[in-house]
Amino acid sequence: MDADRQDGAKRAAGRHTKRLPLWLVMLLALAGLAIVVGALWYRQYDMRGWAVYRGFQLQVAVEKWDADAEFVVPATLDEVIQQGYLASMPINPYTGQPMRCIAWGDPPTRGDVTYLRVYTTKSTPTDEWYAIIVYGPKG
């Protein structure tokens, strides 16, 4: 009986020392690489979505200002924040810091925002308009 146990133990030990086939090792390596690349791509995609959402928060605050001020567009986003339509500048999803408001033509980084107020010298309140541009990654 002891001899049968020893033979069974040798056979069981032999099963664990078999090598995986090369094709299976390559398949597992490719699957791991696909998971890592997919996670990085999703993170980038998710950050773009958050940047757009933060730009939308700015737009909603400017629209509230615009409605309360009888269709007069604010000169800067700082006025919107100072008047309480927005608690603070939204957080830049790429840096974790408040979004930077840059002038038109300045070199942007990811998550920066440009606020443009456009009007003519003969403008009436309805002739004014604005644009909020949120910068994301290239491509």
Note whether residue 127 is domain-resident: yes
Q: What pLDDT is recorded for position 23? A: 81
* Mean of all residue pLDDT scores within the chain: 78
Q: What integer pLDDT is reported at residue 100 of this predicted model?
A: 87
Contact 104, 123 (CB under 8 A): no
Enumerate helices (H) and strands (E) in the chain, giving the number of each: 3, 2
Comparing CA positions, the residue from 93, 82, 84 lying closest to residue 56 is 93
- pLDDT-derived band at 63, boundaries 50, 70, 90: confident
pLDDT exceeds cutoff 70 at 86: yes
The answer to the question of residue 9 being in a domain is no
Q: Which domain holds residue 35?
A: 18-134
| Number of compact structural domains in the chain | 1
